Amino acid sequence: MSDVKKVVLAYSGGLDTSVIVKWLQETYDCEVVTFTADIGQGEEVEPAREKAKALGVKEIYIEDLREEFVRDYVYPMFRANTIYEGEYLLGTSIARPLIAKRLIEIANETGADAISHGATGKGNDQVRFELGAYALKPGVKVIAPWREWNLTSRETLMNYCERHDIPVDFSKNKKKSPYSMDANLLHISYEGGILEDPWAEAEEDMWRWSVSPEAAPDQPTYIDLTFEKGDIVAIDGEALKPHEVLSRLNKLGGDNGIGRLDIVENRYVGMKSRGCYETPGGTIMLRAHRAIESLTLDREAAHLKDELMPRYAKVIYNGYWWSPERRMLQAAIDETQAFVNGVVRMKLYKGNAIVAGRKSEQSLFDESIATFEDDAGAYNQKDAEGFIKLNALRLRIAAGKGRSAG
């Protein structure tokens, strides 16, 4: 007899998690609570309610978390200009801590003994969900069906559905995307299918959010982005909530062919993985944020941020959002953003997010000093001689001792 009486499942309403509901009921003889989060995946989440009811689920949580997702997770991450391995904007990674938090909160609310998820044993998401869960509730039991059952293919899942009268939205003959996809307001990802060959070019009809750069409009789109303390608060002067900002930037970026990415990344579990990503709004946000920081941040603070960023990115990618090191890094990053205020003008054109202008009342750019024209004595160029000699002192001493620099 299982000691698990109730489980909270991260439930999408799709094939995998529908099978998991029945499998949990059958294997653990337990009650299942489903949790479905709307984090901007672009699909209706309410149909999950009827699917869960049909599987005998009595406690069903369906929540709109779009604003919390962008405000409390995406925005803090973008204050650090975060990218993993030089390219990936961490669209999947940043959604997992929020889902883990709600799973634990719902488990506490409902008196559940365990949580469960549909992440496979080959991916990073199992790590992210579970590290978050253990950080928030150390003694929680986690059930990961993909690490326990023998259902190893879509065909075996479909056969399981037939045996257990599980309703699915498609028949065996209905065409299904060959890709494994994950979407939220920050991005949509694609893996599997022909993408498992790193030499194969992604098919044009795979992309969902963006036109190809070749098909983008011949005229550029200009937008003004207003920043307050490192966060975008308005587009073209219109005040918007964080999730509204990202949604609008996704549309503008996608219409102009911006945000496509094709990478081979190093997963935390050890393997290399090839994936394609669409992050139109995030691509614009990153360029614009760096532009406003270039005006407003002190040089050494900016450089230190750039040194910390790869470590911060790895912390998020590997699933340590709730760790003390992430909180420490976040505090340092947020401290730098007090004066990151102003407006950045972006030019969106055929796959490119181009900085066309930037201005700020907190700007550290002093035209009277930087000018190539007469600076009226604002900068004494003779001072540079001593500056250079002092910085060359150790090099001159070493050369004088016969230590070759070549």
b/e map of 248-266 (b: 16 or more CB within 10 Å)? bbbebbbbbbbbbbeeebe
Residue 176's identity, in one-letter code, is K
Active site (annotated) includes residue 180: yes
Identify the CA nearest to 120 among candidates 149, 96, 94, 90: 149
125 is catalytic: yes
Nearest to 26 by CA among 60, 61, 2, 54: 2
Whole-number Å distance between alpha carbons of 142 and 126: 10
Q: Is 334 a catalytic residue?
A: no
Catalytic residue, chosen from 66, 79, 102, 125, is 125
DSSP-derived pairing of the beta strands 272-278 and 260-266: antiparallel
Contacts of 266 (CB under 8 A, 6+ apart): 85, 272
Q: Which of 66, 79, 96, 128 is catalytic?
A: 96
Q: Choose, from 49, 71, 180, 273, the residue flagged as catalytic.
A: 180
Q: How many residues belong to the chain?
A: 406
Catalytic machinery residues: 16, 96, 125, 180
